A and B are shown apart, each in its own frame.
Chain A
Amino acid sequence: MSLFRDLAFEAGVVARSLSDYVNGGALRLGVTGLSRAGKTVFITALVDNLVNGGRLPVLRAAAEGRVARVHLEPQPDDAVPRFPYEEHVAAISGPERRWPVSTRRVSQLRVTIEFERVGAWGGARAQSLNLDIVDYPGEWLLDLALLDKSYAEWSRETIAAARAKSRAPVAAVWNSFVASLDPAAPADEATAVKGSELFAAYLRQARDTTYALSTLPPGRFLSPGDLEGSPALTFAPLPLDDSAPIAHGSLAAMMERRYEAYKTHVARPFFRDHFARLDRQIVLVDLLTALNSGPAALSDLETALDGVMHAFRAGRASRLGAIFRPRISRVLFAATKADHLHHADHDRLEAALKLMTSRAIARAEGFGAEIDVVALAAVRATREAEIRHGGEILPAIVGTPEAGERIDGQIFDGAAEAAVFPGRLPDDPAAALAGDALALPEADNAWRFIRFRPPVTARGAPPPHIRLDRALQFLIGDRLA
């Protein structure tokens, strides 16, 4: 059964790759990131800078003036909504200056870059590169880690994680409910509904910025899309007895069937349609929220990233493989929101990201993919300054903090500008990962990163960025050479 399903899955991937190849190969850029990592803002800024001629001096083709025109085209998949790029630009650069609301569904965009290259036999040759980008709720990405897990494995892991000391305050209600369940009891819909509701409530609370946990599959429990209330979403992990097989007609059997249905109807198609055929990948990681929360949130983020990266196929693409089994040849790990700290700290942020993703990096390198790590800000909301205060000189950033953000006893109203010294990251990134504290109060952390509103930008001009061009050069620069 499982073998058959795997074969069918592979066949589906191959069929789609083939049809892509026949329809004119586009470069599929996978923008990967858990929720709130900044995928939507990254895509919006990327497209905005390319289409409206933003400053991209590090992107060679742009700096050399070889990019003739960049425009948006209808995307290839008719069944997928278009990425509402204009709306997001309006939200960021408009008078409201707010970040796009969190993504609730999949959307897609195709960017065509018309550029010229020096042909092999001389003369400038006009070429174009189609860049396909997909945006989706980051929560759904967590499902990729489920693809290889059986219900029993997943149940065991999830329940063990919920009982961990650091998660205890979030998971108290859920843990007491699970303790009362008997997996061998006859299947009962009311129990299943209650269980899944409590489970979802626990996941949602754990994702909250106070805790900033990341390993919280299944993703649709956090962002159900149009599946809310369907049986595929009405299940929960159970404290299974490993020795006994799951009895027919029991609560456990019903849950297991639904879990498998979730994998078949939700997780697998999502992966097949959007991730199985990527050429390049950027993994956006919001380290700052996890840093605010504490070491446990960081190691949780590390686990989540590793689980996600496990699902991808990275490696050098061969000519034939490009048709049938595309592989990701370049992976860029990016710590987003680098504008929330002074550039003197960017190296430390990159070091921390490198340490966090070392497992995923080793995995991708083993397959022969090129890897790079960068600290970037797709939209730069701050400028830099130094604060002289009480005999100290502190590197700081100046911007408009979001309403309700607090630091050092100050609460911001979302209108006033402020110079913020967010603290210093440790020289040794391992120091930030030590311990298992979670949801640390501000006073216990040596740093505090607060969110800023988008910057005031000139009309029509793309907002400033940090190293977006470097990311682009790494991801698509070779195809524009």
Chain B
Amino acid sequence: MNDKPPRPRAFRLDDHRVAVDDAPAPLAPMATIMTQRDPIPLDVVEREVEAAQSAGVAKRRRLSLGAIAWIGLGGLLSLTVGLWIDSLIEALFARAASLGAIASVFAVLLVAGALGLLTREFVAVSRQRRIAELHAALARARADDDRDAARALVARLAALYLHRPETARARAEVEEARRAVVDGRDLVDVAERALLLPIDRKVQAEIAAAARRVSMVTALSPRAILDLLFVAAQVVRLTRRVAELYGGRPGLFGFFALLRSIGAHLAITGGMAVGDSLLQQVVGHGVASRISARLGEGVLNGLLTARVGLSAMAVCRPAPFEVDRPPGVADVAPFLFRKGKGE
């Protein structure tokens, strides 16, 4: 019945009948005024990272036709293996009871081990997903300046590093900020600065070391296939290391999901990251290759390793880059850009 739009009106904040935010107010205020926080839109870099995460680590799996087929096949294969083991044990019992008993013990060990592995994989995948979700939630809380959400999320972030003695001080700092009256946005920043910046430095050192090793081995190795294998091994090692440093524990499947996210991130950013570009990297390669073809390949492989490492860093990090800008290739591997001398 009241279809008329509300009339324009105004309330003076110094009016004693008006309650403003948390300030002391009369018992039955004429009007209550609650200040709102303005949202800051998420920036491009952050959206890219989240898109990459949702392509891999944070992917919610639905039952597709392919998955159903795989489940069927997997079940049949397990049954085959079970049948085979069963007949093996029976055959052994038929030959000698002691052999059968030993085989049974082995079978139990096999099942227990497999179950353990499966559980660990499951935990690893869900942990990696939780980190990606935490990342997105922290970005939202920061953008909306949501204090309550930030408090809860920051506690989860600190909990990721409970088993690292070297983060004790940072965790205490975050806990203190959590109890103090700090805005949501600032709280997220405090946590990022205290907890993640030291880890960032370690991660960057890892990336630099990997890039250095790759470029050196490529430059020295006698066969192309050898350095290909070496690069692959280094990328795998680096990715695991980065994920572990940030609190993830990628097992086998978690690692595959991580690789998918890294691939997606490389594709989305198109080899471009803030402050550097693939073009620049390839030209760096060009300068080096004029000096020596092997050296040039070394530099190129080193650059690619560094790019993969940076993408892994962006995808594994449990919070968005806000305090500091995300590092570029030139930050982690400046030695690759030194003209002429190479290493």
Contact = CB atoms under 8 A, between A and B. Distances in A.
A136 to B, nearest CB: 33
A398 B13 contact: yes
Nearest to B281: A122
A423 B6 contact: yes
Given A122-B283, A398-B35, A410 B12 contact: yes
B34 A385 contact: yes
A422 B10 CA distance: 8
Given A386-B33, A387-B33, A446 B5 contact: yes
B307 to A, nearest CB: 15
B14 A417 contact: yes
Contact of A63 (B10, B13, B43): B43
Contacts, number: 114
Report the contact-size class of chain A (Cβ under 8 Å from the partner). 35 or more
A118 B277 contact: yes
A416 interface: yes
Contacts of A386: 33-34, 36
Contacts of A78: none
A65 B11 contact: no
A384 interface: yes
Nearest to A446: B5
B31 interface: yes
A389 B7 CA distance: 12
B203 to A, nearest CB: 20
B43 A121 contact: no
B40 interface: yes
A304 to B, nearest CB: 26
Interface string A374-388: 000000000111111
B13 A448 contact: no
B279 interface: yes
A410 B14 contact: no
B40 A57 contact: yes
A423 B11 contact: no
Interface string A387-416: 111101010101001000001101010001
B282 A389 contact: no
B6 A65 contact: no
B14 A416 contact: yes
A388 B35 CA distance: 11
B325 A384 contact: no
Interface in B16-51: 18, 20, 30-36, 38, 40-41, 43-44
A347 to B, nearest CB: 15
B335 to A, nearest CB: 17
A60 B45 CA distance: 11
Given A407-B10, A410-B10, A416-B12, A388 B280 contact: no
B274 A447 contact: no
Interface in A68-127: 118, 121-124
Contacts of A450: 10
B38 A401 contact: no
A420 interface: yes
Given A65-B275, A118-B280, A122-B284, A420 B10 contact: yes
A268 interface: no
A35 to B, nearest CB: 25
Contacts of A58: 41
Nearest to A425: B5
18 contacts: A64-B275, A118-B279, A123-B283, A385-B33, A385-B36, A386-B36, A388-B34, A389-B9, A390-B31, A394-B6, A401-B10, A408-B10, A412-B12, A419-B10, A419-B20, A419-B33, A420-B11, A421-B6
Interface of B: 5-14, 18, 20, 30-36, 38, 40-41, 43-44, 274-275, 277, 279-280, 282-284, 286, 325
For the complex of A and B, the 3 pairs showing the least CB-CB separation, nearest first, are: A122-B283, A389-B31, A423-B8
